[in-house]
Structure 1
Amino acid sequence: MQLLKGETVTVIRTYKTYEDGYPVVKEATDIVENALVHPGITSDSNEGNRPDGATVAFTVGFPKTYQQDLRGAFVVIDGRRYSVIGDPQPCCENCPTAWNRNVEVSAVEG
């Protein structure tokens, strides 16, 4: 029997704060171990101003132990930064494995 084993990814979440009365955007970084990274479809970008563009996407299965909000976050996979799509929520029922949230991420090249 082969067990699933994930890899380590980095989550970058941005938040707003104030310094000297001025708004500032800062980043919080989380190292997430045992994330399942599954390559998605690589497709050509349909935008007219990006004729050589391509969209690269992954689905990342996050472990139940990671409970931070991922809306607007970034996930770094193998040194490349990807944007989280939407507002992924954990599955609250019938999740017998160590992972309970599938997160779609993408990046556009070109």
Structure 2
Amino acid sequence: MTCLISGETVTVRSAAQSFDELGEPTGETVTEAAVDNVVVCPGATADLDSTRPNGVTVAYTLCFPKGADVDLRDATVTVRGTDYKVVGDPKRYTAANTPGPWDLTCEVTRTDG
């Protein structure tokens, strides 16, 4: 059976901080992974308060496929050529509750203005 929903390829970028023996930061290692078949659902846009009349928040909900080996906590996701920050620490649904091909949902956001 073919799936009626088609996903896109997004890039997940995570940074891991390294520390010396005194606990001081010594550098950062950035890993980047392309993930195929991610469903991109446009979210609502929300105007910011009156002190920033040109400001706007843009959000997407992303549904990652089963088996995608990504850690989304504090990650940046490139969707359609634009970088978005992951909100929170997304966790996978249980296998019993996800009969389809996607089991990890996260929200990403970007604020302009």
**TM-score under structure 2 normalisation?**
0.86
State the identity %: 38
Partner of 1:87: 89
Pick from 28, 47, 55 the counterpart of residue 44 of structure 1: 47
Q: Distance in 2 between matches of 1:94 and 1:60?
A: 18
Tell me the amino acid that sits aligned with residue 46 of structure 1: D
C-alpha displacement at 1:42, in angstroms?
Answer: 1.0
Deviation digits for residues 48-88 of structure 1 (CA, Å, limit 9, x no counterpart): 3x331100000000001113221100110011000000000
Structure 2 residue runs of 5 or longer lacking an equivalent are none
C-alpha displacement at 1:27, in angstroms?
Answer: 1.2
Pick from 101, 107, 111 the counterpart of residue 108 of structure 1: 111
Partner of 1:11: 12
Q: 1:2 to 1:72 in 2, by over 3 A?
A: closer
Number of aligned residues: 108
**TM-score under structure 1 normalisation?**
0.88
Q: Distance in 1 between matches of 2:84 and 2:29?
A: 18
Could you list the structure 1 runs, at least 4 aligned residues long, displaced by more than 3 angstroms after superposition: none
Aligned Cα RMSD in Å? 1.9
